[in-house]
C-alpha cells in the first residue's frame, strides 16, 4: 500500500522558507540578530564572493589556475550557512563548491586561490579556523561533520559542525549513514544541502524521485527544512534555528537550500549540453545579491555609489590576493614528503633523497 | 581506416558492442546527454536511448551493485566510473562480490561486465582524479585487468573485455585520451586479453610497463639509443590479468636487465609484482637488480607537484643507466 | 523546525498488518489465493524449516558443521516472502539467515547443509532456481535485487526480485542506494526487511531512532508497509500486494516484517549477554507455526495426529539430507581453481599444479 | 606478570590506554555489552561507559567517517572492524581520507586513530571473515600497518599505535586470539612501530613473515633443523609500515637466501614487495631466487578447503628446501 498521505505532501510538509522576496520586500519582520550592520556585512561578503568567483573563472581560462568550481548564484547559501558559526569552536566540512563558506569562516582568499592553483598549502586553514580541507569524494565529509560535532558533545562543548553537500550528494550511502548516526547519537551536526538542481549534467529527477530532499529527515526522525537559497535572510534564519537546536542538545538538522549555479559545474564542463538558457535566466532574475541590494536600498541607507564603491573595493582586494597567490613559490620536494606522517618514515626519507638527487642531475636542483 | 583519438576509439568500441549485442547496457554518471565527462559515451544515448545509456544517481556502490544484479540476470553492463578515485565507494561491491560470483556459486551464476576507469594522473585535475587503482585490486583475485596504451588496442581490448565471460576492470589512460590519433579499423575486431605487445625490440634491457608509461618508456628508449647506443626492448603489458608471463620472462632472459615502470606509489605496486615474477622465473639471468621507476609513497599531489611525482623519461633513462652500468 | 506531523506518526502511518491473531482466529477474510491447500503447504514448509534449523544447531555443536545462523522464530517471514515467487523467473538475494526462503524457492536442503559445512557447491542453486548465493556483507545484496529486477524490466519481463536484510541491514549505505535506485528507475524490487530487533547484540534503538523501518519509504516516495512477521498469512498478503505492484510496473516496495529470532545470532553468539529471557518468552508465545496450526485445527481438518505425522516426516527428511550431505566428498583442488574464470588463466593453472604437487608429496595425493 | 592470551592482551591494552587518556574512545559493532564478537572490548563498557565504548549502527563507512571527524576534533578513536572483509564498505573513508588528512592539509589537521582488524583465516568462519586486507592498503600511502604475532607484542604495539600521531591499521591474527598464553607485563609499556624482531637466529636462510605465520615459519624452521640441520633465521616483521628494512636486508645479506611467507593471494601480496625490496637492496647476495609461500590467486575458500589454501609448515619447509638446494 502506497502511503499517499505524506508522500505527495512532501512539498506541503516542507514549504520553502522565505523572508525576503525577489522584489526586495520582507515577508516577515526580521529577527533581532539580523541588524542593519549585519545585513550590510552579509551583503559585502556576497559581493566579494561573486567578484572572486568570476575572477577565478577567468584565471582558469587564462591557464593561471587548474580546474575551478564556481558557485555564482549560490552566494546566499555560501554566506548564510557559515556566517553565524564561531570559527574556532564550530566546524565546517565543505565540498569543492563551498570555498565561499570557507572564506566566510575565515580562510583567506589566497588559500582558496592556491588550492585551485594546485598547492596543498591552500588546504591549510589558519589556526583558529576550523574549516576542513575541501572534500572531493561526494558526501564523505558529512560523516566527518557528524564526528566533529560528536567529539565536541562528548567533551561537553556546544560544538556545531556543518557538513555540505549538493543534490547529488544525497545519493551516496555516506549521506544516509551520516544522517542516521547524527540521529541515533543526537549530535549537533547540520547537513546543509545546496539543491542546485544538477549534479554535473544529472537533473534532480534522475537523482531522486521524492519531491523534496528535506523529507529525507522523516526517515531519521530529525528536523528538516527547505529554504529559498536565493534569499540570504531566510538562509540565515534557518541556520540560526538549526544552530540553536544543535547547541541546546536538540540534535541534527537537514537543510535543503533550493538554489542554482549560474556557471558551469567546473571549468571542465559545458552546461549548454544539458541546461536550457531560459532556466538560467529564470534563476538570474532571483539573484540573491540583487535581492538584498534592493532591500538595503529600500531601507534608504545604501546608495548606488555605496554599491559601486563596494564592488570596486572587492575587485581590488581580489586582485591583490591573486597577485599574492601568484607570487608564491611552487611547493617544494620537502613538502611532498614531510607531511604524510608526523615524522617521515625511513622509506620516505630515502625516496625524498632519490628525487632530490634526480632533480639535481636534471635541472641543477632548481626545486626543493 | 579512420584516424581516431583514444577516447574516440573507446566511443567507437562501445557503439560497435551495443549494435552487435542488445544486452550491452551502459551505466554511470553523466554518460547520457552529457556523453560522459570525457565524452567516452558521446551521442550513444541518441542511438541507443536512455534505457541502454543509463545516467545514474551519484552513487558508485549503487550502480556497481545494480550492474552486478543485471549481469547476473543476463545483461552485459559496461560501467563508467567517472574518475579512478571514485571507485573507492564501490570497493565492497567489487572486492566482495564482482570478483567472486562465479567462484562462489561454482559457475551457476556469472557476472560478465566491464568497469571502465579513466586512470592515472597527468591531466592536472583535482584530488582523487589521478589514482592507480589497479593496485587496489592486485591482491583480490577474480578480476581481469586491462590497460591499453593506444587507440587501436583501446578499441580491440574493450571489445574483447565486453565479450569476456568474466568481469574486467578496464583502465583507460586519461592523459592519452586526446594526446594523439592512430589508425583504428572500422567495425568489429578484438585484441585478446592476456597478450603483451613488444612495442620496441632491443637486446640491452627490457622495459615493462602499461598504459600511459608505454610512451614514457619509448621516449626514454629513444634517448638511450641516441645517447648511449643501448637498445631497450619495451613491452606494453596491455593486460595485467591475465598476464603474458612468457613474453615478459622471454625478454628478460634475452636482455638480462629489466626496468619496470608505473606511476603508482612505490610500495606494493604492480611493478613490485613484476620484480617478484622475474625473481621467480629469471633471477639467474639478471645482470643487475631490476630497476623500479614509480611514483613515491605519498598521495598523488595537487597539480603543482604532479611533475615531481609522475615518472618521466628522465627517470626511466636513469633506471636504464642503473641496470646497464651496475 | 521539527516536522512533528509525520514523524511521531510513523507507527500510525505504518500500522502493523495482521491477518491471523495469536489465538488462531482471523481478523479479516482470507483472499482467494490463500486456499486451504496452500495454507497446509505453507504450514508444512514452516514445520520443515523449524526442524532443519534446530537440527543444524545440533550439528554445529557436534562439530559436524561450521558457523550456522538459525532463523527459528522467523519462519513466517522465510516462507511467506518466497512462497509466491516463480523460481525460474523471479529472484531472491538472501542473507545468511534466509536459507529458509532459499529452500522455499527450490534450493535443496543438501545445498544448505553443504554451505554451512563449508563447501561452495552449497551455493550452487539448481538450474531454474534463481536463488543467489548467500551474501554475507550486510545490505550489499539489496542492490543486486535492484539490478536483477531492472534487467528483467529492460527486457520487458515482469521479473520480481526480492532483496533480504535485517534491521541492522537498514544502516549501511547500500540500503539507501538500493531504495533510491529502485525508486528512480521504478523497478520491481521488493526489499524484505526482517526486523528481529537485534543486529547481533545491537538493539534497534541503537540502529535507528525512527519508530519504524517502513517510514524510510517516505524518503524515496515508494510503497512501504509493516507486517506482523509472526503471522504468515499477513506476510503472504503483503507479499502478494508487493508482487502485484512490481509485476504491474508499480515499482518497489519496502516491507518491514516485525519478528524475532529465538536462537543465537549464529552459533558463535551467546544471546544471554544482551537479551532478557522474558523477551524471548514473550515472542515464543506468538509463535508463527503454532499460530497457523491453531487456525488449521480450528478449521477442523488438521488433527493432532496429522501434526505429529508431519513433524516426524520432516525429521526423517532432514535426517536423510544430513546423511547425504555428510557422505559428499570434500571439495577438490580442481574446484578451488577452476571456477574463478570461465577458463583458468595460465597463472592459475601453474598454481594448481604447484598445489597438487605439494599435496602429492605430502599425503600421496589424497585430495584433488 | 600475568599469562594472557592475545585477545586478553588486546583488552588489557585498551583498558590501559583508556585509563591513561580520556580522549581514547572505542567505536564498532557489538563492542559494548557484548564485549565484541571476539571479546576484545570485554567489560570495558562497565568501566568507561557507553560514551567511550560506542556500539554503532551497522555501517562501517559510517563509523569510520565519524571517527575521522572525531580524531580531527581532538579525540583518539580506536575503531573495531568486526572482520577483515567488512573493512570494504569503509574503503573510501580509509583510502581517500584517513590516509591523507595530515598531508592534504599540510599538517593543519591530523587524524590520530587506530583501526583494529581481526585478520586472516584459519578459524573456519563464513565467507569474508578471513581476508588479508593489508594488501588492499599496501599501495595507498599514509597508513601505518602493524601486525603482532604474540600477546606481548599485541599489547605493546597496540599502545604504541594508540599513542602514534598518525592513523594505524592494526591487524590482529584472529587465529591466535586464544591459541596460547604468554607473559604480559601489567600497566603501560610500548613496543615501537617499525622494529622487526628476530625470533629465531640462523645463518642458512632468512624467513620473513608476520602475524600468524611467524608460528608457521618457526614450526618449519624446527623441522628444517631437525631434518636437514639447516638453521633458519625467522624475522617477525611486526610492522609493515614503517618497515624495518635494515633488519631484513642485514639478515638476507648474511644468509644469502630468503623465504617470504604470508597467506594472501600470490599476486600483489606484501610478500611480493619484500621480494622487490630484496631485489633493490641485496640482489647480489642472493644464492637463489627468493621463495614465496602464500595463498593462491583465488578467494579464500569456504572452510572445507581452507587447509588447501592457507600455507602450512610443510609448504614453508618446501620453500626452504628450494632456496637451499637451488
Ligand atoms: C564519489 C564521487 N563520485 C563522483 C564524483 C565526480 N563529481 C564531482 S562533482 C559531481 C556532481 C555533484 O553534484 P552535486 O552533489 O549536486 O553538487 P554540485 O556540484 O551541484 O554543487 C560529480 C559526479 C565525485 N567527486 N565523487
Ligand atoms: C558489512 C558487514 N559488517 C559486519 C558484518 C558482521 N555481521 C554479520 S550479521 C550482523 C548483524 C546483522 O543484523 P541484522 O541486519 O539485524 O540481521 P539479523 O542477523 O538480525 O538477521 C553483523 C554485524 C557483516 N556481515 N557485514
Ligand atoms: Mg547540484
Ligand atoms: Mg536483526
CATH number at residue B283: 3.40.50.920
Q: Compute, in angstroms, the gap from residue A33 CA to the centroid of ligand 3.
A: 30
- Considering the domain architecture, whether residues B26 and B146 belong to the same structural domain is answered as yes
Mean per-residue pLDDT for C63-77? 98
Q: How far is CA D3 from CA D12, D160, D185, D210, D314, in A?
A: 12, 21, 9, 22, 30
Q: Give the residue numbers spanning the domain of A221.
A: 6-327
* Contact between residue C314 and residue C47 where contact means Cβ atoms under 8 Å apart: yes
Check whether C4 has a pLDDT greater than 80.
no
Is residue A355 assigned to a domain? yes
D266 lies in the same domain as D143: no
Model confidence at A368, pLDDT cuts 50, 70, 90, reads: very low
Does A73 contact ligand 1 (Cβ within 6 A)?
no
Domain carrying residue D11: 2-184
Using alpha carbons, list the distances in angstroms from residue B309 to A337, B177, B300, B303, D136.
Answer: 11, 21, 7, 10, 22
The Cα D272–Cα D253 span in angstroms is 18
Look up the ipTM and state it.
Answer: 0.98
Answer whether residue A1 is part of any domain. no
B190 within a domain of the structure (yes/no) = no
C77 and C95: one domain? yes
- DSSP class of residue D89 equals G
Residue C307 falls within a domain, yes or no?
yes
Cβ neighbours of D297 in C, within 8 Å: 340, 347-348, 351
Asked if residue C282 and residue C347 are part of one domain, the reply reads no
Residue A182, domain member (yes or no): yes
Q: Which three cell numbers stand for residue A351?
A: 625516496
Residue C1 lies in a domain: no
SS3 A293: helix
CA distance D228 to C73: 59
| Residues A214 and A346 placed together within one structural domain of the fold | no
Q: Please check whether residue C168 lies inside any domain of the structure.
A: yes
Residue C366 predicted with pLDDT over 80: no
Catalytic site positions of D: 129
Query: Based on the domain organization, do A151 and A223 belong to the same domain?
Result: yes
- For residue B301, being part of any structural domain is answered with yes
Q: How far is CA A306 from CA A38, A40, A296, in A?
A: 16, 11, 11
Q: Whose CA is nearest to atom 21 of ligand 1?
A: A166
Strands B258-261 and B53-55 turn out to be unpaired
Number of domains observed in the structure of chain B: 2
Quick one: pLDDT at residue A8?
Answer: 53
Spatial separation of the C-alpha atoms in residues B282 and C60, rounded to whole Å: 49
Residues 74-103 of B with CB under 8 A from D: 85, 88-89, 91-92, 95-96, 99-100, 103
- State yes or no: pLDDT of A4 exceeds 90: no
Instruction: Tell me the pLDDT band of A2, cut-offs 50, 70 and 90.
Output: very low
- The residue to which cell 564482482 is assigned: B98
Beta strands in D105-227 (DSSP E): 114-119, 144-146, 168-173, 181-184, 197-200, 205-209
D139 and D245: one domain? no
Answer whether B89 contacts ligand 1 (Cβ < 6 A): yes
- What's the domain count of chain A? 2
Percent of chain A with pLDDT over 70: 96
In terms of domains, do B14 and B141 share one? yes
Q: Is D97 in Cβ contact with A144 (below 8 Å)?
A: yes
What is the reported pLDDT for A6?
46
Flag if B62 and C174 touch (Cβ within 8 Å).
yes
Q: Please, are residues D24 and D52 in contact by the beta-carbon 8 Å criterion?
A: yes
Shared domain check, B27 and B75: yes
Give C358's contacts in chain D (Cβ within 8 Å).
Answer: 314-315, 318
Q: Is residue D311 part of a domain?
A: yes
Query: Among all chains, which residue has been given the C-alpha cell 545494480?
Result: B66
Q: Tell me, what CATH number does B38's domain have? A: 3.40.50.970
Residues C24 and C169 both lie in one domain: yes
Q: Does A234 lie in the same domain as A116? A: yes
Q: How remote is the CA of residue A97 from the centroid of ligand 3, in Å?
A: 10
Q: Residue A248: pLDDT band by 50, 70, 90 thresholds?
A: very high
Could you tell me if D134 and D266 lie in one domain? Answer: no
> Do A289 and A351 have their domain in common?
no
B154 assigned to some structural domain: yes
User: Quick check: D123 and D161 in contact, CB under 8 A?
Assistant: no
Give D59-79 pLDDT, tens digit per residue. Answer: 999 999 999 999 999 999 999
Average pLDDT (A108-135) is: 98
With a pLDDT cut of 90, the percent of chain C lying above it is 93
Q: Whose Cα sits closest to atom 25 in ligand 1?
A: A137
Domain at C248, CATH number = 3.40.50.970
Q: In this structure, is residue D209 part of a structural domain?
A: yes
pLDDT attached to residue C363 = 76
Contact B69 C150 (CB under 8 A): yes
- Whether C321 and C339 map to the same domain: the answer is no
Q: Establish if D194 touches chain A: CB-CB under 8 angstroms.
A: yes
Tell me which residues of C are annotated as active site. Answer: 261, 265, 274
Q: Would A368 be classed as within a structural domain?
A: no
D276 touches A: beta carbon within 8 Å? no
pLDDT number for residue A5: 45
Task: Give the number of the ligand closest to the Cα of residue D30.
Answer: 2
Residues of B in contact with C180 (CB under 8 A): 57, 59, 62
Mean pLDDT of A67-85: 98
User: 512539498: which residue's cell?
Assistant: A11
pLDDT at A366 over 80: no
Distance CA C231, CA C28 (A): 13
Question: Is D203 inside any structural domain?
Answer: yes
Is the link from the previous residue into C263 a cis peptide, with omega within 30 of 0? no
Cα C118 to Cα A331: distance, rounded to the nearest angstrom = 55
Q: Are residues B206 and B80 in the same domain?
A: no
Residues C353 and C262 in one domain: no
* Residue stretches of chain B with pLDDT short of 70: none
Same domain as D229, residue D177: no
Question: 3-class SS at A340?
Answer: coil
The radius of gyration of chain A from alpha carbons, rounded to an integer in Å, stands at 22
What would the pLDDT profile of D311-323 be if each residue is shown by its tens digit? 999 999 999 999 9
Rounded Cα distance between D309 and D306, Å, is: 5
- For residue A362, the number of C-alpha atoms closer than 13 Å in the C-beta half-sphere is 17
**Chain segment C5-32, per-residue pLDDT in tens:** 444 567 888 999 999 998 889 999 999 9
Domain shared by C342 and C248, yes or no: no
Tell me, in angstroms, the distance from the centre of ligand 3 to residue A300's CA: 36
In a domain, residue D191? The reply is no
Same domain, yes or no, for B243 and B155? Answer: no
Q: Are strands C91-93 and D53-55 parallel, antiparallel or unpaired?
A: unpaired
CA–CA separation, A231 and A212 (whole Å): 18
| Average confidence (pLDDT) over D248-267 | 98
The residues facing B145 across adjacent strands are B169, B241
As beta bridge partners, residue A296 has none
**What's the pLDDT tens digit per position in D15-58?**
999 999 999 999 999 999 999 999 999 999 999 999 999 999 99
Does residue A169 line the site of ligand 1, with CB under 6 A?
Answer: yes
Scanning every residue of chain C, which has its alpha carbon at the shortest distance from the alpha carbon of B73? C148
The answer on A261 and A136 residing in a single domain is yes
Closest listed residue to residue C69, CA positions, set C2, C136, C158 = C136
Give which of B173, B182, B188, B175 is closest to B13, Cα–Cα: B188
B103 and D288 within 8 Å at the Cβ level: the answer is no
- The answer to the question of residue B173 being in a domain is yes
Q: What is the 3-state secondary structure (H, E, C) of A98-148?
A: CHHHHHHHCCCHHHHHHHHHCCHHHHCCCCCCCECCCECCCCHHHHHHHHH
Answer yes or no: do D56 and D172 share one domain.
Answer: yes
To the nearest whole number, what is the mean pLDDT of chain C?
Answer: 95
Residue C343 in any domain: the answer is yes
| pLDDT for the residue C275 | 97
Residues D173 and D270 in one domain: no
Asked whether the beta carbons of residue C66 and residue D301 sit closer than 8 angstroms, the reply is no
Read off the C-alpha cell for B247: 613474453
Q: Based on the domain organization, do A101 and A210 belong to the same domain? A: yes
Q: Which of B136, B158, B184 is the last residue of a domain?
A: B184
Average pLDDT, chain B: 98
Q: What is the pLDDT of residues C256-282, one digit of tens each?
A: 999 999 999 999 999 999 999 999 999
Interface membership of A209 toward B (CB under 8 Å): no
- Give me the mean pLDDT over the D241-265 stretch: 98
| Closest to A315 measured CA to CA, from A109, A35, A86, A102 | A109
Which residues, at least 6 apart from A135, have a Cβ–Cβ distance to it below 8 Å?
A93, A94, A95, A141, A144, D97
Amino acid at each position: 500500500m502506497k502511503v499517499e498521505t505524506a508522500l505527495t505532501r512532501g512539498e506541503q510538509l516542507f514549504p520553502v522558507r522565505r523572508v525576503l522576496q525577489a522584489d526586495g520586500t520582507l515577508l516577515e519582520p526580521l529577527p533581532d540578530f539580523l541588524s542593519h550592520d549585519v545585513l550590510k556585512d552579509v551583503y559585502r561578503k556576497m559581493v566579494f564572493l561573486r567578484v572572486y568567483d568570476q575572477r577565478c573563472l577567468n584565471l582558469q581560462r587564462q591557464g593561471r589556475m587548474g580546474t575551478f568550481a564556481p558557485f555564482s548564484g549560490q552566494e546566499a547559501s555560501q554566506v548564510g550557512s557559515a556566517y553565524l558559526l564561531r570559527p574556532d569552536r564550530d566546524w565546517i566540512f565543505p565540498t569543492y563548491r563551498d570555498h565561499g563558506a570557507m572564506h566566510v569562516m575565515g580562510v583567506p582568499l589566497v588559500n582558496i586561490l592556491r588550492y585551485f592553483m594546485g598547492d596543498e598549502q591552500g588546504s591549510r586553514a589558519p589556526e583558529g579556523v576550523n574549516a576542513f580541507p575541501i572534500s572531493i569524494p561526494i558526501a564523505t565529509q558529512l560523516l566527518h561533520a557528524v564526528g566533529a560535532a560528536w567529539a565536541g558533545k562528548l567533551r561537553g562543548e556546544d560544538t556545531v559542525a556543518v557538513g555540505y553537500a549538493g543534490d547529488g550528494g544525497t545519493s551516496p550511502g555516506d549521506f544516509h549513514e551520516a544522517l542516521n548516526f547524527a540521529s541515533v547519537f543526537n549530535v549537533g551536526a547540520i547537513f546543509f544541502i545546496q539543491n542546485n538542481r544538477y549534479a554535473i549534467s544529472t537533473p534532480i529527477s534522475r537523482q531522486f524521485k521524492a519531491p523534496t530532499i528535506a523529507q529525507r529527515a522523516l526517515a531519521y526522525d530529525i528536523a528538516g527544512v527547505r529554504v529559498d537559497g536565493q534569499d540570504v535572510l531566510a538562509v540565515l534564519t534557518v541556520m540560526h534555528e538549526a544552530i540553536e537546536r544543535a547547541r541546546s542538545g536538540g540534535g541534527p538538522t537537514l537543510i535543503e537550500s533550493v538554489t542554482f549555479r549560474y556557471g558551469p559545474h567546473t571549468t571542465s564542463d559545458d552546461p549548454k549540453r544539458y541546461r536550457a538558457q531560459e532556466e538560467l535566466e529564470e534563476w538570474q532574475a532571483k539573484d540573491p545579491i540583487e535581492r538584498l541590494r534592493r532591500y538595503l536600498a529600500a531601507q534608504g541607507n545604501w546608495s548606488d555609489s555605496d554599491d559601486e564603491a563596494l564592488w570596486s573595493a572587492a575587485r581590488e582586494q581580489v586582485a591583490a590576493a591573486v597577485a599574492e597567490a601568484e607570487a608564491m613559490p611552487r611547493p617544494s620536494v620537502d613538502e611532498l614528503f614531510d607531511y604524510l606522517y608526523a615524522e617521515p618514515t625511513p622509506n620516505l626519507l630515502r625516496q625524498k633523497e632519490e628525487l632530490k638527487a634526480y632533480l639535481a642531475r636534471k635541472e641543477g636542483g632548481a626545486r626543493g | 581506416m579512420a584516424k581516431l583519438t583514444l577516447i574516440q576509439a573507446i566511443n567507437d568500441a562501445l557503439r560497435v558492442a551495443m549494435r552487435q549485442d542488445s544486452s550491452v547496457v551502459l551505466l554511470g554518471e553523466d554518460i547520457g546527454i552529457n556523453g560522459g565527462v570525457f565524452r567516452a559515451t558521446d551521442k550513444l544515448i541518441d542511438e541507443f536511448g536512455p534505457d541502454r545509456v543509463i545516467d545514474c544517481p551519484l552513487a558508485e556502490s549503487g550502480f556497481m551493485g545494480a550492474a552486478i544484479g543485471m549481469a547476473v540476470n543476463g545483461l552485459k553492463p559496461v560501467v563508467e566510473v567517472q574518475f579512478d578515485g571514485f571507485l573507492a565507494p564501490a570497493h565492497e561491491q567489487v572486492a566482495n562480490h564482482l570478483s567472486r560470483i562465479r567462484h562462489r556459486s561454482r559457475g551457476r551464476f556469472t557476472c560478465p561486465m566491464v568497469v571502465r576507469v579513466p586512470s592515472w594522473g597527468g591531466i592536472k585535475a583535482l584530488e582523487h582524479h589521478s589514482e592507480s587503482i589497479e593496485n587496489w585490486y592486485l591482491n583480490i583475485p577474480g578480476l581481469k585487468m586491462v590497460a591499453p596504451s593506444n587507440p587501436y588496442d583501446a578499441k580491440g581490448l574493450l571489445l574483447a573485455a565486453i565479450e569476456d565471460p568474466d568481469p574486467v576492470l578496464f583502465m583507460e589512460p586519461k592523459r592519452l585520451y586526446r594526446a594523439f590519433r592512430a589508425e583504428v579499423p572500422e567495425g568489429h575486431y578484438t585484441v585478446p586479453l592476456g597478450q603483451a605487445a613488444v612495442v620496441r625490440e632491443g637486446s640491452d634491457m627490457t622495459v615493462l610497463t602499461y598504459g600511459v608509461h608505454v610512451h614514457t618508456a619509448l621516449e626514454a628508449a629513444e634517448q638511450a639509443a641516441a645517447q648511449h647506443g643501448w637498445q631497450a626492448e619495451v613491452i606494453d603489458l596491455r593486460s595485467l590479468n591475465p598476464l603474458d608471463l612468457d613474453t615478459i620472462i622471454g625478454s628478460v632472459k634475452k636482455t638480462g636487465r629489466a626496468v619496470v615502470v608505473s606511476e603508482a606509489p612505490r610500495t606494493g605496486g604492480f611493478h613490485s609484482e613484476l620484480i617478484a615474477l622475474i625473481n621467480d622465473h629469471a633471477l639467474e639471468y639478471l645482470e643487475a637488480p631490476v630497476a623500479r621507476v614509480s611514483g613515491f609513497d605519498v598521495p598523488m599531489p595537487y597539480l603543482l607537484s604532479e611533475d615531481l611525482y609522475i615518472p618521466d623519461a628522465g627517470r626511466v633513462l636513469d633506471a636504464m643507466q642503473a641496470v646497464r652500468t651496475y
